[in-house]
Structure 1
Amino acid sequence: MQTEGVVESGGSLVVETVSQLIPGGVAGAVSKTCTAPLARLTILFQVFIYQNSILCFFFSFGLTNGSSVALQVQGMHSDASTLRKSMLWREASRIVNEEGFRAFWKGNLVTVAHRLPYSSISFYAVEHYKNVASGGLAGITAASVTHPLDLVRTRLSAQRNVMYYRGISHALRTISREEGIFGLYKGLGACLLGVGPNLAISFSVYDTARSYWQLHRQEDSTALVSLACGSLSGIASSTVTFPLDLVRRRMQLEGAGGRARVYKTGILGTFRQIIKAEGFRGIYRGILPEYYKVVPSIGILFMTCEKLKQVFSKLDACR
């Protein structure tokens, strides 16, 4: 009888763990898929709209002689200038005209592969740490495990007309071969510095706003509350941590395609070079599409997660 009790207890623990992991993972995948076009625009603005940068890597992929490289680098400056002056809709139009509508979801498969474990671990860890730093610890836990997929996502999304990386597995193999296994962890330091505060702020603002809203407007639906509070938390967290996110993206493209590195001085050195070349506004390059993305993205994330938690709670009650 005692053994049966232990087995039953173990089975219940497994079911409980799975029911806590699934909502966060599915919610992350759904929110990222819904906002993938804006996410790609954010990455393109972060890594392409500046001169004398890693942009030349992706313009010189596949070139075989010095004259071609020179022409491409020269064209790079013109393209960067054009992009810098363009609005979001113009870059969106370029993607549709040159790459097709499906290109908005370029890299989304690896994003889903990344977000399923990332969001699962984040929400699960928050439930178990149960302290002030729960969001930060959850973010560090998730980011450390899934960073190679995040790096691959950045490189796939940053590609425009020339496809140097032909998919997730090809990118992982190519980066490991050309840059070593540690090449998959470029930008991890900036990621860890940013993801802890990002999720800590996000979960804290969400919980505070949700509690306040429910206290004063109890008649509102759970979906509406989650969507509104999630959007607010996303704006707050992105505003604070966006500069580190930009540094992470640029470091992740270091050495892409086997080209020489541009930033060789770490996180602080990258910050200094960005500010020197682009001014203080440079560290917020791409913040506008990020705002457009983060409002629905985080809102959908929390709303979907809350709804799935309710579904699992009802299923658990019926067992």
Structure 2
Amino acid sequence: MSASVAQLKHEGSQRQVVVAGAVAGLVSRFVIAPLDVIKIRLQLQIHSLSEPSSYRNLNGPVYKGTLGTLKRILHEEGLTGLWKGNIPAELLYLTYGSVQFSAYTSISHLLETIPPPYELPSSAASFISGAAAGAAATTVTYPLDLLRTRFAAQGNDRVYTSILASVRSIAQHEGPTGFFRGLGAGVSQIVPYMGLFFASYEQLKPIMANYPLLLPHGSSDAVAGIVASVLSKTAVYPLDTTRKRLQVQGPHRARYVHRNIPTYTGVLMTLNHIWKHEGRRGMYRGLTVSLLKAAPASAVTMWTYEQVMGLMLAYDEEHKGD
């Protein structure tokens, strides 16, 4: 498939959009699961090895860099440690992909109905559609995101023994709002992220498509997705760290692999605390692995979405007369 994101709005039925989005999310999650666990561990760490006076007697691991974190998890928790939280994460990505692409196409169609001379420029329409789709998908799937973070944050001392046990525990000790800790940071992050991502992707994809010899077999879609994702992810990363810190608040905060996570009560308070006590390093801890994760995730997502959509459209075309 070589159609642009804007053209995707006119391809396929709503069911096909949902299926393609779900498959894309599922595949991308499987690919980047270990990097996601490493990123979460780094984001929840309030000190690094370069701050020796700060991490003594923390009663928990201190990770240094992506490879150092990978080695330590493998040594202390085994290979399965890199896939902690994978079940809620798979459900998250499966649902998120469906909601995101479905909302994006629906909102795009709605914006196209705006009559002249009030119609929006293509880039503005893509930004609004992407931001709104991201906010909707984030809100709908947020409890799964929270469960993913909490499972990835627990070491050999298991806070929750199963998904069902975690749901029961949160409902009993934290109430319904416990499933949405940090939602404000999540929405605040995803709105500019998805808006910037889709707007950048729309602009980059036709440019990349002009180099078929360098980027054959649909790889231009993947490259455009990588560049757009890196730019967007870096811009909003402090909010992602804030979301992770808020997600592990609650009665079991001191039982996660990092046992010294401070108490936070809101987005602004968390941002201020991290900046005051950890500085810029704290805001961007784990950014390297986050970018390593974001690049293949977005590339696989966009490439898989367009390939699955292409297969379904081709199937419909072949069986049109049946």
Alignment of 1:206-225 (within 5 A): 206-214=201-209, 216-218=210-212, 220-225=215-220
Other-structure match for 2:101: 123
Equivalent pair of 1:263/1:269 in contact (CA under 8 Å): no
C-alpha displacement of 1:258: 6.8
Query: How far, CA to CA, are the matches of 1:87 and 1:315 in structure 2?
Result: 46
Q: Which amino acid aligns with 1:44?
A: R
Deviation of the 1:251 alpha carbon: 0.4
Match of 1:75 among 57, 60, 70: 57
In the alignment, what sits opposite 2:5? none
Which amino acid letter does the alignment assign opposite residue 211 of structure 2? R
Contact 1:29 1:111 in 2 (8 A): no
CA contact (8 A) 1:191 1:248 kept: yes
Indicate how the Cα distance of structure 1 residues 313 and 112 shifts in structure 2: closer, same or farther if over 3 A, else same: same
| Matching residue of 1:4 | none
Letter in 1 for 2:142: H
Aligned equivalent of 1:267: 267
* Residue 32 (structure 2) aligns with: 35
Structure 2 gaps, min length 5: 1-11, 49-54, 109-124, 256-260
For 2:142 and 2:24, how far apart are their aligned partners in 1?
19
Q: Does residue 103 of the first structure (1) align with residue 98 of the second (2)?
A: no
Choose the corresponding residue for 2:178, options 165, 177, 183. Answer: 183
CA contact (8 A) 1:187 1:249 kept: yes
Q: Identify which of 249, 258, 275 aligns with 1:254.
A: 249
Partner of 2:72: 94
The alignment partner of 2:27 has SS state of helix
Correspondence list, 1:1-319, <5 A:
16-50=13-47, 75-76=57-58, 79=60, 82-83=62-63, 86-130=64-108, 131-132=125-126, 133-214=128-209, 216-218=210-212, 220-257=215-252, 262-319=262-319
Measured at CA, do residues 304 and 256 of structure 1 come closer, stay the same or move farther in structure 2, by a change above 3 Å?
farther
**CA apart distance, 1:167:** 2.1
Structure 1 position 281, deviation (Å): 2.3
Structure 1 CA distance, aligned partners of 2:47 and 2:251?
17
TM-score normalised according to structure 1 size: 0.82
Post-superposition offset of 1:223: 2.7
1: CA distance between counterparts of 2:83 and 2:194? Answer: 24
Deviations 1:60-100 (A, max 9, x none): xxxxxxxxxxxxx97326x46x42xx232121111111111
- TM-score, normalising length from structure 2? 0.82
Deviations 1:100-141 (A, max 9, x none): 112111111111101111111111111121223000000111
RMSD: 2.1
- In terms of mean alpha carbon deviation, does 252-261 or 15-24 score higher? 252-261
- CA distance in 2 between counterparts of 1:259 and 1:157 reads 15
Aligned partners of 1:156 and 1:167 also within 8 Å? no
**More divergent stretch after superposition (191-200 vs 219-228):** 219-228
For 1:9-45, what per-residue CA distance to the aligned partner results, in whole angstroms no more than 9, with x for missing partners? xxxxxx9222110111111111111011111100000
Contact 2:186–2:240 (8 Å) recurs in 1: yes
SS in 2 for 1:166: coil
Deviation at 1:318, TM superposition (A): 2.2
CA contact (8 A) 1:178 1:258 kept: no
State the shift of 1:256 in Å. 4.5
Distance 1:37 1:105, change over 3 A: same
Q: Which amino acid letter does the alignment assign opposite residue 291 of structure 1?
A: L
Q: Which has the higher helix share?
A: 1
